[in-house]
Amino acid sequence: MNQTLSLPLDAHGAQHSPSTPSSPHAPAVSAAAGTAPRFSRSRWRLPRAGTVAAALAVAVLLLLLCAVIAPSLLAPGDPLAADRSQLLQPPSLHHPMGTDQIGRDVYTRVVHGARPSILLGLSAVTLSLAVGTVLGLLAGLTQRVVPTVVMRITDIGAAFPELLLAVFIVSLFGSGIFNAAIAIGIAGIPYYTRIVRAETLRVRSASYIEAAQALGLSRAEVVLRHIVPNALRPLIVVATIGLSSATLAGAALSFLGLGNPPPSPEWGAMLTNARNFLSMGWWAAVFPGLAITLFVMSTTWLGRWLQQRSEGRL
Amino acid sequence: MTPASLRPLSRRVLHRVGLSALTVLGAITAAFFALRLVPVDPAFVIAGAGGDAVAITAEVLAAIRKEYHLDEPLVMQYLFYLSRLVQGDMGMSYVQEQPVASLIAEQARPTLALASLACGLAVLLSLAVGILSAGRRRTSAIAGAVELVLASTPVFWIGFLLMLLFTVHWQLFPLLDTGGLRSLILPALTIALPTAAPLAQVLRRSMDDVLEQPFITTARARGLSVLATKLRHGLRHAVIPYLTMAGYSFGALLGGAAITETLFGRPGLGRLLVNAVTRQDMPLVLGLVSLATLAFVVMNLLIDFAYLLIDHRLQTESPQP
């Protein structure tokens, strides 16, 4: 099973892997089919690369979750404490990620920056998910006027490129981390509305809905017990991937100076801060960026893995 | 009512154009009223920008309101704005005493240069990677991993890393904008890399699907080389999903330009937007947002029409079974 080992970090490589069944029932089937007794490959082989990567992603996310909930556990220092004698020191044992231009420890700031950066993305996704779900269900379950109105408004919202819409909304409310989260959340609504509506329409025309209606279930029962749960099922995956893009957008807004105000640590804003001292200390820019990339990559990867699982491709 | 696919082509095109025009109008309208519902008095912004010598008195504010037509009903202001907009007049900037249209025209050149080089690089990169990696498991795996990393990396961090490598470490390119092509390459690459990643991914996925079709085997059996098969048959089938993705990312380029221009200290529309937002220069924000929306919608409209030219099946009046 060479291919399995060399399988990529990428999802669709796994798609092409040989069709050896990986379900626990598979060996029993092949035994029943009377194949020669042999070493059962599917039971003994190493876990697939995709699964390993998903486990790694979960580990990274757990570590970052710890940084969000209890940053002082990972970095006991004060993220705002500036040591004038330690300006722009390269990474060392004492400062694992070096210090910035006013002598603050970059590692402590990266750890403490996890909370605003990740919560920004999380609250933005929650907002777009909640409003998008309501609007999408509304447009998918009703007829004539309501869906037309909802979808035209959605079209208008989707006519703005997302980051631009977020910048625009920040210009309405003013900058700040709370407003940035709202802005990114609103900018994401059209996307989720479209997905939820499409899913609702798909589920509505499914034969099991017809069956439920034929069995005499009331309209409310059909909607609440069959349509809504099935239409919303893919959202977990979509929201996981959405979390990564919302976090990226949040970091971008902070980088542009429209998100988290200094001096409190936030990954995007830390990069703005490091911009002017790039030639004197690469570490102040590299580590916060690495943190964003690791978080986004882990969420994206986990989302894809969940997606493949839900589609039965793993 | 006949379904859309059964209408004559010309009517479908008109319908699509009309719908897009309405969408843009809706977007401009929404932006206009949203900017006016904000509890910020534009007269204060204008007065504040006028300089410190002017004390902000009630008379000054009233004069400003009169000059900028802020004292009229909102609906009248809106109609007035629209009537001037069709003549290419986007009003005066609150902060810089210049018409918005000329401010935009001034800054459009560097952004257009940056955007076109970035698009060109993204297309080149994604075509090369997509075509070469399609159908090859190991190459696909490596390309896929790189694409995942690139798509997960914030644009500004890519820019940082490129700057660190090529201006600080090797000093191949100037750190700040000097106006020439040399100072354009790194910013363009910063936008092109994350844009190219999903494009290459889409291209490879759809080419992989095509390469499993029986007619590919036939083409190979006729003696066509692998590369020629990919170019002649694979590419043709991959082009529609590729164009969809390209239209979306190129249309959204202004957002990326805002970040890249800020990072590299370049002039341009993106930076103009960030400055306008931080200074609450509403007419300038409105003008730039309208322009970006127009560009985004037109780009997607053009891609839709490109489908008709590329895939002749879409032109027939009855849908293919």
Domain that holds residue A148: 50-76+97-310
Q: Which of A12-26, A63-77, B98-112 has the lowest mean pLDDT?
A: A12-26
| Angle (nearest 5°) at CA A148 between A145 and A150 | 105
Residue-level pLDDT at A118: 93
pLDDT at site A134: 95
pLDDT digits (tens, 9 = 90+) for B166-181: 887 787 777 666 667 7
Mean model confidence pLDDT for chain A: 80
pLDDT for res A2 = 37
**Mean per-residue pLDDT, A73-97:** 81
User: What pLDDT was estimated at residue A21?
Assistant: 37
Pick from A9, A156, A256: CB nearest B30? A156
For residue B154, the domain's CATH number is: 1.10.3720.10
Note whether A9 contacts B148, CB cutoff 8 Å: yes
pLDDT of A10 reads 38
Are residues B135 and B33 part of one domain?
A: no
Instruction: Evaluate whether residue B301 is within a structural domain.
Output: no
| Average pLDDT rounded to a whole number, residues A74-90 | 80
In a domain, residue A30? The reply is no
Tell me the pLDDT band of B6, cut-offs 50, 70 and 90. Answer: low
Residues of chain B contacting residue A152, judged by C-beta atoms under 8 Å apart: 26
pLDDT > 90? residue A135 = yes
User: Per-residue pLDDT for A239 more than 80?
Assistant: yes
Whether pLDDT at A3 is above 60: no
Encode A107-131 in three state secondary structure: HHHHHHHHHHHHHHHHHHHHHHHHH
Cα separation, B272 vs A233, in Å, equals 42
Residue A6 has pLDDT above 60, yes or no: no
Same-domain status, B129 and B171? yes
**Quick one: pLDDT at residue A313?**
60
- Interface probe with A: pick from B16, B95, B148, most Cβ of A within 10 Å: B148
Contact between B159 and B186 under an 8 Å Cβ cutoff? The reply is yes
Residue B115 lies in a domain: yes
- Of A23-37, A122-136, A288-302, which gets the smallest average pLDDT? A23-37
Question: Residue B195 domain-assigned?
Answer: yes
ipTM of predicted assembly, 2 dp: 0.82
Task: Say yes or no to pLDDT of A122 above 90.
Answer: yes
pLDDT of residue B247: 84
Q: Give the distance from CA A279 to its chain's centroid.
A: 33
Query: Taking 70 as the threshold, does the pLDDT of residue A38 lie above it?
Result: no
CATH of the domain at A144: 1.10.3720.10
Find where tokens 């893009």 sit.
Answer: A245
Q: Which of A7, A156, A282 sits opposite B164 (nearest CB)?
A: A282
- Determine, yes or no, domain membership for B229: yes
Q: What is the pLDDT of residues B188-230, one digit of tens each?
A: 999 999 899 999 989 998 888 888 888 888 888 888 888 888 8
Tens-place pLDDT, residues B237-296: 788 888 888 888 887 787 778 889 988 888 899 889 988 888 888 889 999 989 888 988
CA separation, residue B99 to residues A157, B91, B95, B102, B283 (Å):
27, 6, 11, 6, 9
Give the tens place of pLDDT for each residue, B115-138.
Answer: 999 999 999 999 999 988 888 888
State chain B's mean pLDDT as an integer: 83
Q: Label residue A46 by pLDDT band (50, 70, 90).
A: low
Is residue A81 included in any domain, yes or no? no
Highest mean pLDDT among A137-146, A263-272, B210-219, B242-251: A137-146
Assess if residue B262 is contained within a domain: yes
pLDDT of residue B265: 86
Does residue B117 fall inside a structural domain? yes
Residue at B234 is within a domain = yes
Query: How far, in whole angstroms, is CA B103 from its chain's centroid?
Result: 19
Question: How do residues A7-19 score in pLDDT, each as one tens digit?
Answer: 333 334 333 333 3
The reply to whether residue A271 touches residue B274, judged by beta carbons under 8 angstroms, is no
Band the pLDDT of A24: cuts 50, 70, 90.
very low
Residue B229 domain boundaries: 106-278
Identify all chain B residues contacting A289, using CB atoms and an 8 Å cutoff.
Answer: 153-154, 156-157, 160-161
pLDDT value of position B315: 63
Q: How confident is the model at residue A29 (pLDDT cuts 50, 70, 90)?
A: very low
Which residue from A minimizes the CA distance to B290? A160
Looking at the domain assignment, is residue A40 inside a domain? no
Is residue A65, in this structure, part of any structural domain at all? Answer: yes
* Residue-level pLDDT at B226: 84
Mean pLDDT of B19-24: 91
Question: Do B233 and B158 fall within a single domain?
Answer: yes
Q: Do B141 and A10 touch (CB under 8 A)?
A: yes
B272 to chain A, closest Cα gap in Å = 12
Q: What is the pLDDT of residue B164?
A: 87
Which has the minimum average pLDDT: A101-115, A242-256, B242-256, B262-276? B242-256
B81 and B43 in a common domain: yes
Residue A252 pLDDT greater than 80, yes or no: yes
Within a domain: B79: yes
The tally of domains found in chain B comes to 2
Q: How confident is the model at residue B42 (pLDDT cuts 50, 70, 90)?
A: confident
Residues B255 and B186 in one domain: yes
Question: Nearest-CA residue of chain B relative to A304?
Answer: B148
Query: Which of A88, A167, A282 is best to mutate for the B interface (most B CBs within 10 A)?
Result: A167
Q: What is the pLDDT of residue A17?
A: 38
User: Which residues lie closer than 8 Å to A310 by C-beta, 6 or more apart?
Assistant: A233, A234, A237
Residue B92 φ/ψ, nearest 5 degrees: -100, 145
Q: Do A167 and B155 lie within an 8 Å CB cutoff?
A: no
Count up the domains in chain A and report the number. Answer: 1
CA–CA gap between residue A19 and residue A15 (Å, rounded): 9
The reply to whether residue A156 touches residue B251, judged by beta carbons under 8 angstroms, is no
Last residue of a domain, one of B31, B57, B86: B86
Structure tokens at B170: 């090797």
Statement to judge: residues B123 and B75 lie in one domain: no
Most confident of B76-90, B110-124, B134-148: B110-124
